[in-house]
Structure 1
């Protein structure tokens, strides 16, 4: 038997026909998605904007074109430049120079947010000043014709509106998922408000702003004259919510038409359709983990003895009550990231208490040297797949996922918490072999514990509410992937540690940096 035959015998044969089908479909989904996403970028010049200081900024424009109107593209809270690519690419294809930048504390901007987050005159003023500096730098470029508008999503729309009220260089404002207290009947000039049709809480905000100009105006109706700067319009992007609206073709088409009306232009190029392909790409990457989990040498590792029902409930539920109560008086201000210290402590205390209970009952045993090596190797493979495969797709098409140096300390601190927590989680659910109700109980209890912590100190820990959906999505996608790996390897600790590293990375690179002054 040749070496190739041995490799085939030890690895490839482990894939059942169903896993081969999933592997082929996953790879096809990845390749097709990347092809479509790269096609959206083809023919567009994407380059840094000079003169913006510490603020990373990128211009999207047609190569070889003359000076054009500039559109400043502003992302929302916890976002970054790549998140707004669909709009930036579409506007560039329409002949505009679209300039996206990372706000302080976001993406690859090394300067943390600062000021008073609770005051409209606090952090917002500093972000407006940053926006103004970007506009100054952009208007000095040879590809800018002196005309400029601004478009923003969520937090970006809040800053865009306030900036447009005080900056008469901005001829039009597009506010997506907007909520603002600065709008008047006449300011800012040429205001387009776009809310997702599933953003029930924000739709009245657009209605109230429109009523200031014309209480009888309907959604989808333009009031005033764009040429005079008096235009107002509010529309609903169909079938999308607060995040999906970012990739909505209807939103992008409305934005482009509004800018065309403001600047007396006509655009006919198709808008970028990236949202569905991004979803397919990330789904393909996650799904590919199912057959990859079986590419290993056959082993006869015994299934760990499951916890009794009563012991499981104690390990799953006790930390959810004890940890938020015990940490409620603890206040730290070390890391330059909102609620990062508390979240790391919460993860660490939760995991430590669960592991201590497992050790007390003899369910946690230190592995031998050879077994420890296998566990660490598996953990490294899981972390590599999450950070370097899934992360590469995220960084190019969704949001900044590879850290600037200042965030490495945040990732390391988060790992001190996420490693013990994800290890305890993997052991509780037996690497995915436990009944579904146990997985739902264990992970639901952790989410409830974060909710309890927020309720105990709402002012300080409000931003934990933003993290809850992130952790939920992590459990749904990567918890499932960890289950595939745990069942295939009978080494839940390896899957848990690998996912702990990936979770620390994901939180450390995406959540905004903040430094109180």
Structure 2
């Protein structure tokens, strides 16, 4: 169609403008990568002076996802030390210990955080320390600050984003700001409870004080658990809290960095549309009779978790990756069998189309995400895990493509197919809550995957056929899952 070149030009312009804006947030900063033992760290600074803020990410996060805070604080005159927890991001050391025990994994992560604090204090210049963390890291940094206080070397301020921690007391941490998204009702209550330990009449948005203890809560409007990491008002609140604690004056403006990230990623997705139109054409997929469609949806949901969950044993060094591989493989195989779509070797055209989708979804989209939003590049230890995940992701996505007629099926069918996959994963978590609860955390990854890569896969499927789309999406999904979940080696 004639407008496809215009779509490509628009996508390129949007992407270029977004890159200019995102790179502008780094202008004037010295950004350097280091290692503290096995822990990779990034130091952001305008100059080698000013207080240091140690930044920690949440579960399945990385240094990159905390950049809105890291860059803003560095531009404001702080030195910022962001790091990847064990098992996360580029950290090659797996998490270990009992994840359900304070003396297990939590203690190990607290010790790692305190090593980062010690490294920050060893840097030349101002040795005053602030801590900032999100979600899982809030409990870690609060416990680390309490341990530092007990050791006679207190941190000056703590900012806990989306906080949940049983370690907060009426006396510690002494200077604590809790930031929550407006849509995080449970975590908003946890933040308010922390403030009310100091003053029972505390309300959101106001600071309370008792002697040296200062507490405040801030609610970022219109965001949830991930959006709060990109909220300009939340970033500003954190900066203001550190300014007060360090008697520091910042002269920087709010930056809508999150919107520019969305613009860049959206431009990359949109830019794939005219590329997909140039792929070799294939015949449209035939409609699937309603009866067979219903069987292909319901039978795998009922059978897959019952056959795998009760007998599952961890055998891969990544949380629940091994279960996902087995679950997706059986789920997809059952669907293909019911549809009577037996696996076959793709022809050259289908293989080429699948490769184009995989390269765009992993290299182009993924590298942009890795630089500006979240870790998407694997350490060497993760490559075999990605390869193993392909054994489950590829058949599952090929079956998905056939069931949705490569994106041509009615909307209700496409929605039902994806909801069925989610339902089977939820059933597995219910059957084995002690071992498979972490499966529930993968659901947002699937949602984002279907919204982004699924759209690109639909364009490929409508042009090059279901097999091409399914193969490409399977490779992309295996990569996304393989880089997202923490490496874990229980002791």
Residue 345 of structure 1 deviates from its aligned partner by: 0.2
Match of 1:338 among 316, 319, 333: 319
Match of 1:202 among 187, 191, 196: 187
- Is 2:403 the counterpart of 1:428? yes
In structure 2, the residue matched to 1:443 is: 418
Match of 2:174 among 189, 192, 197: 189
- Write the distance in 2 (CA, Å) between the matches of 1:55 and 1:483: 40
Per-residue CA deviation, residues 232-257 of structure 1 (Å, 9 max, x unaligned), is: 11111111111111011111111111
Match of 2:134 among 153, 162, 165: 153
Residue 48 of structure 1 deviates from its aligned partner by: 2.0
In structure 1, the residue matched to 2:271 is: 288
In structure 2, the residue matched to 1:92 is: 74
Match of 2:119 among 129, 133, 137: 137
In structure 1, the residue matched to 2:245 is: 262
- Write the distance in 2 (CA, Å) between the matches of 1:116 and 1:395: 30
Match of 2:447 among 424, 449, 472: 472
- Write the distance in 1 (CA, Å) between the matches of 2:30 and 2:123: 15
* 8 Å CA contact retained: 2:48, 2:79: no
Please, which moves more after superposition, 256-265 or 96-105? 256-265
- Is 2:469 the counterpart of 1:495? yes
- Write the distance in 2 (CA, Å) between the matches of 1:442 and 1:66: 54
- Is 2:86 the counterpart of 1:104? yes
SS at the partner of 1:502?
helix
- Write the distance in 2 (CA, Å) between the matches of 1:195 and 1:296: 45
Residue 120 of structure 1 deviates from its aligned partner by: 2.3
Match of 1:315 among 273, 284, 296: 296
* 8 Å CA contact retained: 2:39, 2:86: yes
* 8 Å CA contact retained: 2:158, 2:175: yes
| Structure with the greater alpha carbon radius of gyration | 1
Residue 229 of structure 1 deviates from its aligned partner by: 4.1
- Is 2:442 the counterpart of 1:460? no
- Write the distance in 2 (CA, Å) between the matches of 1:478 and 1:341: 22
- Write the distance in 1 (CA, Å) between the matches of 2:284 and 2:231: 47
Match of 2:157 among 165, 172, 176: 172
In structure 2, the residue matched to 1:218 is: 203
* 8 Å CA contact retained: 1:172, 1:229: no
With normalisation by structure 1, the TM-score equals 0.91
Residue 294 of structure 1 deviates from its aligned partner by: 0.8
* 8 Å CA contact retained: 1:224, 1:232: yes
* 8 Å CA contact retained: 2:233, 2:254: no
* 8 Å CA contact retained: 1:92, 1:98: yes
Quick one: structure 1 residues 388 and 365, their matched pair in 2 at CA, closer, same or farther if it must change by over 3 Å? Answer: closer
* 8 Å CA contact retained: 1:196, 1:241: yes
SS at the partner of 1:270?
coil
Quick one: structure 1 residues 366 and 219, their matched pair in 2 at CA, closer, same or farther if it must change by over 3 Å? Answer: closer
In structure 1, the residue matched to 2:335 is: 354
- Write the distance in 2 (CA, Å) between the matches of 1:471 and 1:421: 12
Match of 1:76 among 58, 63, 69: 58
SS at the partner of 1:321?
helix
- Is 2:301 the counterpart of 1:326? no
Per-residue CA deviation, residues 103-162 of structure 1 (Å, 9 max, x unaligned), is: 0010000011111111222211100000111111121122x4111110111111111111
- Write the distance in 1 (CA, Å) between the matches of 2:428 and 2:445: 17
- Write the distance in 1 (CA, Å) between the matches of 2:121 and 2:344: 62
- Is 2:378 the counterpart of 1:396? no
SS at the partner of 2:285?
coil
With normalisation by structure 2, the TM-score equals 0.96
SS at the partner of 1:152?
strand
Quick one: structure 1 residues 328 and 296, their matched pair in 2 at CA, closer, same or farther if it must change by over 3 Å? Answer: closer
- Write the distance in 1 (CA, Å) between the matches of 2:331 and 2:123: 52
Residue 17 of structure 1 deviates from its aligned partner by: 3.0
Per-residue CA deviation, residues 32-57 of structure 1 (Å, 9 max, x unaligned), is: 1111001111111100245x110001
Residue 66 of structure 1 deviates from its aligned partner by: 4.3
In structure 1, the residue matched to 2:13 is: 28
In structure 1, the residue matched to 2:44 is: 60
- Write the distance in 2 (CA, Å) between the matches of 1:436 and 1:224: 55
In structure 2, the residue matched to 1:124 is: 106
In structure 2, the residue matched to 1:415 is: 390
In structure 1, the residue matched to 2:489 is: 515
Two-structure CA RMSD over aligned residues (Å): 1.6
- Is 2:229 the counterpart of 1:246? yes
Residue 364 of structure 1 deviates from its aligned partner by: 4.1
SS at the partner of 2:311?
coil
SS at the partner of 1:481?
helix
Residue 365 of structure 1 deviates from its aligned partner by: 7.2
In structure 2, runs of 5+ residues without a counterpart are none
